Amino acid sequence: MKSFSAKFAWFDGKFVRSEEAKVPVMTHAIHYGTSVFEGLRGYWNSKNLNIFRLDDHIKRFRNSGKIYSITLKFTNKEISNAIIWLCKKNNVRQSCYIRPFYFVGEYGINLNVTEKAPTHTAIVMFDFGDLFNKNGIKAGVSSWRRIQDISTPSLAKMGGNYLNSILATQEAKRNGYDESILLDHLGNVSEAPGENIFILRNENIVTPPSSSSALEGITRESVIEIVQNEGYKVIEREIPRTELYLADEVFLTGTAAEITPVISIDGKKVGNGRAGKVTKQISSIYSNITMGKNKKYAHWITAVY
Ligand SMILES: Cc1ncc(COP(=O)(O)O)c(C=O)c1O
């Protein structure tokens, strides 16, 4: 597949050439991390470009800003139309990643961000394949702890939150792992730097609750619904670190990572050290859904053309 670079971005209500979407150096978000973002995927199935759970991403997009009184100046409908039209304007006919974001603009060094602070909204998109090896990745538990609700709300998808993710990722790579797993402030499993985590143990699928500082991931929620429909029991509960070493299967979920099997943690094999049966089953159902091939989940798909 030929890679593409999008000619157009969407910026404050207008389509502009990508190289013209620029901000002043005194943009508040550059200094203080006051930005909100989402990541969506568009899946090309040779007939149409399917955007996965568009409305749910936009709902979370607005809610993240609400926590910090950062105003999204466009309606949900305006954002979803802008995303669809940006795909059309760029004539995208292959799978892609779509990144809408909004941020506090020129507001001096004022930390009293209110709903009246100036904000800008933009959407960019680019070519994107697999984030990880779909046969499985090696993960290590980070020495950094996940940000928590009592200081930096983990439910808000803010640019600044990802400093924590960056520290954990740097450490994982330094230690020769593909990805890191973060614990919360109590030492329970939270999530990965950009993915939620699930384990399979004693036939049950278990994932940490949002009170363990896990983002309310849209892929996570999709997986919970899919596996329940397949007859599995899903339990949201705290997961102590050592259960990671006893799990039969472990996988990560996220828009970018989709369903990624974890085959070793801290150098110990997960199960038999290969992608597990249940993980593969979920991954295959998920990829059929995103390709628009599963009628039962057609309401999760927005076709661009
Ligand atoms: C910290 C974090 N956790 C989990 C996820 C997975 O969320 P989603 O499935 O909505 O992409 C993401 C990605 O957005 C993330 O950044």
Largest distance between two CA atoms of the chain: 56
Does 142 share its domain with 284? yes
Does 13 share its domain with 51? yes
Does 57 share its domain with 183? no
Q: What percent of the chain has pLDDT over 90?
A: 98
pLDDT in tens, 22-39: 999 999 999 999 999 999
Q: What percent of the chain has pLDDT over 70?
A: 99
Does 150 share its domain with 277? yes
Q: Do the domain assignments include residue 296?
A: no
Amino acid letter, 240: P
Q: Do the domain assignments include residue 151?
A: yes
What pLDDT score was predicted for residue 27?
A: 98
Question: In angstroms, rounded to a whole number, what is the distance separating the alpha carbons of residues 240 and 243?
Answer: 6
Sorting pLDDT into bands at 50, 70 and 90, what band is 5? Answer: confident
How far, in Å, from the CA of 193 to the mean position of ligand 1?
8
What pLDDT score was predicted for residue 23?
A: 97
How far, in Å, from the CA of 171 to the mean position of ligand 1?
19
Which CATH number characterizes residue 167's domain? 3.20.10.10
If we measure between CA atoms, which residue out of 10, 98, 46, 105 comes closest to residue 291? 46
- Residues with catalytic annotation? 157
Q: Do the domain assignments include residue 83?
A: yes
If we measure between CA atoms, which residue out of 90, 79, 29, 73 comes closest to residue 57? 79
Residue to mutate (ligand 1; options 196, 207, 224, 290; most atoms within 8 A of CB): 196
What pLDDT score was predicted for residue 1?
A: 59
Q: Which atom of ligand 1 is nearest to the CA of 220?
A: 9
CA distances from residue 56 to 61, 63, 69, 293 in whole angstroms, order as listed: 9, 11, 20, 20
Q: What is the mean pLDDT of the chain?
A: 97
Span 41-67, mean pLDDT?
A: 98
Which CATH number characterizes residue 82's domain? 3.30.470.10
Does 157 share its domain with 279? yes
Q: Do the domain assignments include residue 113?
A: yes
Does 100 share its domain with 151? no
Q: Does 141 score more than 90 pLDDT?
A: yes
Domain boundary among 127, 153, 186: 127
Sorting pLDDT into bands at 50, 70 and 90, what band is 172? Answer: very high
For atom 6 of ligand 1, which residue has the closest CA?
A: 254
Does 28 share its domain with 155? no
Is residue 171 within 8 A of residue 145, CB to CB? The reply is: no
Span 222-241, mean pLDDT?
A: 97
Count up the domains in the chain and report the number: 2
Q: Under DSSP, is residue 54 helix (H, G, I), strand (E, B) or coil? A: helix
Question: In angstroms, rounded to a whole number, what is the distance separating the alpha carbons of residues 59 and 96?
Answer: 21
Domain boundary among 127, 148, 175: 127
Span 32-55, mean pLDDT?
A: 98
The residues, ordered by sequence, that sit 6+ positions from 198 with a Cβ below 8 Å of its Cβ are 205, 206, 207, 220, 223, 250, 251, 252, 253
Does 74 share its domain with 188? no
Which protein residues are within 6 Å of ligand 1, measured from CB? 39, 191, 194-196, 215, 217-220, 253-255
Does 152 share its domain with 281? yes
Q: Which atom of ligand 1 is nearest to the CA of 60?
A: 10
Q: Do the domain assignments include residue 298?
A: no
Question: CA neighbours within 13 Å on the CB side: how many for 115?
Answer: 4
**Residue range of the domain that includes 64:** 8-127
Does 82 share its domain with 185? no
Residue to mutate (ligand 1; options 53, 101, 197, 219; most atoms within 8 A of CB): 219
For atom 12 of ligand 1, which residue has the closest CA?
A: 194
Is residue 216 within 8 A of residue 155, CB to CB? The reply is: yes
Q: How far apart are the first and last CA of the chain?
A: 20
Sorting pLDDT into bands at 50, 70 and 90, what band is 2? Answer: low
If we measure between CA atoms, which residue out of 35, 87, 33, 83 comes closest to residue 58? 83
pLDDT in tens, 180-222: 999 999 999 999 999 999 999 999 999 999 999 999 999 999 9
Does the model's pTM come out above 0.95? yes
Burial of 1 (0-12, 13-18, 19+ CB in 10 A): exposed
Region of 177 on the Ramachandran plot (φ > 0 left; ψ -120 to 50 alpha; else beta): beta
Total residues belonging to the chain: 305
Does 97 share its domain with 234? no
Does 106 share its domain with 157? no
Q: Do the domain assignments include residue 1?
A: no
Which residues make beta-bridge pairs with 99? 124
Q: Under DSSP, is residue 120 helix (H, G, I), strand (E, B) or coil? A: strand
Percentages helix, strand, coil for the chain (3-state, rounded to 5) are: 30, 30, 40
For atom 4 of ligand 1, which residue has the closest CA?
A: 195
Q: Do the domain assignments include residue 295?
A: no
Domain boundary among 127, 154, 187: 127
Sorting pLDDT into bands at 50, 70 and 90, what band is 116? Answer: very high
Residue to mutate (ligand 1; options 215, 225, 259, 290; most atoms within 8 A of CB): 215
